[in-house]
A and B are shown apart, each in its own frame.
Chain A
Amino acid sequence: MSPTYAYYPGCSGLGTSAEYDRSTRAVCKTLGIELVDIPDWSCCGSTPAHTVDHALSCALSARNIGQAEKLDVEGIITPCPSCLTNLKTASHRMRNPEFKARVEKLLDEPVENRLPVMSVLQVLFEQVGPRRIADRVTESLSGLRLAPYYGCIMNRPPEIMDFDDCENPIAMDRLMAALGADIAPFPLKVECCGASFGVARKGMVMKLSGKLLDAAEDVRADAMVTACPLCQMNLDLRQKQINAANNARHNMPVFYYTQLIGKALGLGEDSLMLDNLIVRPVGAFRKMEEVRRSAS
């Protein structure tokens, strides 16, 4: 029987990262992972909530954990690292009964806090695995050189996130290699992109995301691949701003890893929404074809 998970899409999946949500659902379906949306899920509060108060932040996540407990599922999964970190931190801290009681006072009903919380990346890597994904590839990505960028909080802090390596994660590298792609040794895998400061303090994002794009260029990547909606938005949507601010000329596509898995598994544009990327990936794909032609 295929495993069933309570799926937490996260707010950006309804707007700025619709292609991540869509491709995640399509890839999971194709690979036999069943997703049931958490009924009437609400926002986890993201960074703003935990900068105000930890009980408030945990309560916003705990409402969703409680909603998921009403389903017959093995665990909760989410594609977004920010939602993941909030859900996992809430679950972790509520193991302290005193803190759990404080959180529950903010909620309408108590939560059991029994379901494991994982990223979609962890489930694809550990439950399906690169080998089984490689067996399903119909359109290899050989010739496409990728810089895998995990963002800062997918694997940190290790005591709470409990997946992969906190300094040099490899899950996405292995999955992309299973699709046939060429993996560049990307030294800034877990460096922060500037997070949500793009609005209030744009200069910080221009500098930090600019450094990531420079590094991807330095390792001769054709594209970057990421697992975080905020990282993707900073690197892709803000790439023009970054170029203007840093006097650079990057033209670096930034894929969600689920889009590339979907492409290699032969899923169509409806599932992948590659047209939604701001930096168009046509050049990278054309180069991929050329590399293959010259190799054959």
Chain B
Amino acid sequence: MTTVLLNKSYDADFVGQVEKESEQNLSLCYQCGNCTAGCPYSSFYDYPVSQIVRLTQTGQRETVLSSRALWLCASCESCTTRCPNNIDVARVMDVLRHMARRAGHKPEPEIKIFWDTFLNSVEKHGRVFEMGLMAKYIVKTGRVMTDADLGMDLLPKGKLSFRAHDIVGKQNVADIFKRFNKERES
């Protein structure tokens, strides 16, 4: 367990930014631990979700944004549903990973590559092309045996299509990404 020294590293801007982007009042969290108790991913996290909230309250930008927990959250909404003070914790987790991305953190490279490859597929075809997504993921990660065993079950049932389902308006979808990237750069 890492010791975090709270007195020297309080970053008020960070707290304000998380509260603004998530539209949540983090000072309402009194650390009851309900979010962590219900989180199916706690055992995989470096910091359980209630500690992520506490670290955010105490302005620990670097510790929070470099945390692996942000990338291992599946947005199952347990935490949000069970928070007694109605904090949308899953939304806070989302906002923290937005910020982690912008700051260039990638403690879970495979997960980031999977998500990015998924979105590239949407940007290119308008819909996800499952087979293409898997192929690109394998190329980018070098994990050649990823789910190779499943192909034997999927292929005979026609569950994996070899061609992409490009939509007519795929340019509209690509434009959404283009405008988003432009907005981000400005």
**Which chain A residues have a beta carbon within 8 Å of chain B's beta carbons?**
11-12, 14-16, 18, 40-43, 45-56, 59-60, 63, 105-108, 152-153, 156-158, 166-167, 190-192, 194-202, 204, 207-208, 237-238, 240-241, 275-276, 278
Contact = CB atoms under 8 A, between A and B. Distances in A.
Contact of B127 (A14, A153, A166, A190): A14
B75 A194 contact: no
B61 interface: no
B29 interface: no
B46 interface: no
B37 to A, nearest CB: 13
Contact of B75 (A16, A56, A153, A238): A153
Tell me the dominant secondary structure on chain B's binding face: helix
A90 B22 CA distance: 15
B76 A46 contact: no
Given A53-B98, A106-B179, A237-B154, 19 more contacts: A12-B128, A16-B160, A18-B159, A40-B167, A42-B169, A47-B75, A48-B119, A51-B75, A51-B98, A63-B172, A152-B78, A156-B80, A156-B81, A192-B40, A194-B74, A197-B111, A200-B137, A201-B108, A201-B110
A158 B173 CA distance: 30
A48 B115 CA distance: 5
B94 A50 contact: yes
Given A18-B159, A275-B157, A198 B147 contact: yes
Interface in B81-125: 81, 88, 90, 94-95, 97-98, 101, 108, 110-111, 113-116, 118-119, 122
A167 B76 CA distance: 12
Given A16-B154, A106-B176, A48 B116 contact: yes
Nearest to B118: A48
A18 B160 CA distance: 10
B185 interface: no
Interface of B: 40-41, 43-44, 72, 74-78, 80-81, 88, 90, 94-95, 97-98, 101, 108, 110-111, 113-116, 118-119, 122, 126-128, 130-131, 134, 137, 146-147, 149-150, 153-154, 157-161, 165, 167-170, 172-173, 175-177, 179-180, 183-184
Contacts of B168: 40
B130 A15 contact: yes
A63 B110 CA distance: 29
Given A55-B180, A156-B78, A108 B126 contact: no
B122 A152 contact: no
A12 B76 contact: no
5 contacts: A18-B158, A40-B169, A42-B126, A105-B179, A240-B149
Contacts of B173: 42-43, 60, 63
A184 B167 CA distance: 42
Contacts of B167: 40-42
B145 to A, nearest CB: 11
A250 B97 CA distance: 36
B153 A237 contact: yes
Contacts of A208: 40
B40 A153 contact: no
Contacts of B130: 11-12, 15-16
A53 to B, nearest CB: 6
A45 B122 contact: yes
Contacts of A276: 157, 159
B165 to A, nearest CB: 5
A192 B74 contact: yes
B77 A157 contact: yes
A290 B157 CA distance: 29
Given A53-B98, A200-B114, A106 B74 contact: no
Contacts of A108: 172, 175
A49 B88 CA distance: 18
